[in-house]
Amino acid sequence: MRIIISQRNDLTTKEIDKLISLENKDVLINLSRFQNLTIEQIDNVLLNSVYLSKKYLIENQKLILEQKNKLIDLMKNSSLDYKDLINKINT
C-alpha cells in the first residue's frame, strides 16, 4: 500500500517525510521517481538509497553539487558497478 501511495502526485511535504522515515527501499525508489523532493528529503533518501533510488534521484531530482558529490562517493565505494550512473551524474 505504501508503495502505491508514494506514486501519488498530491502528497504533502509532511506525507513525503513520513514515507521517507519508513526507510522502505521500494517506497524510496518511487519517491525518487515520482515526487519533487526538497533538498532535505533528497539528503534523507540518500542515506538508504539502492541502485534504482540513486538512478531516479539523478534522472528526476534537482541535485545540488554536494548531493552529486555524495552520490558519487557512495557509488565509488560500493561493490556494485555504478559506472553508468557516475557518467550520467557527471554530464
Q: What is the DSSP string of the chain?
A: -HHHHTT-S---HHHHHHHHHTT-HHHHHHHHHHS---HHHHHHHHHT--HHHHHHHHHHS---HHHHHHHHHHHHTSSS--HHHHHHHT-
Tell me, what's the pLDDT at 4?
Answer: 86
How many Å apart are CA 90 and CA 69, to the nearest integer?
10
Q: Whole-model pTM?
A: 0.89
More confident residue, 80 or 31: 31
Using a pLDDT cut of 70, give the percent of the chain over it.
100
Residue 80 above 90 pLDDT? no
Residue 91 above 90 pLDDT? no
Residue 1 above 90 pLDDT? no
Residue 53 above 90 pLDDT? yes
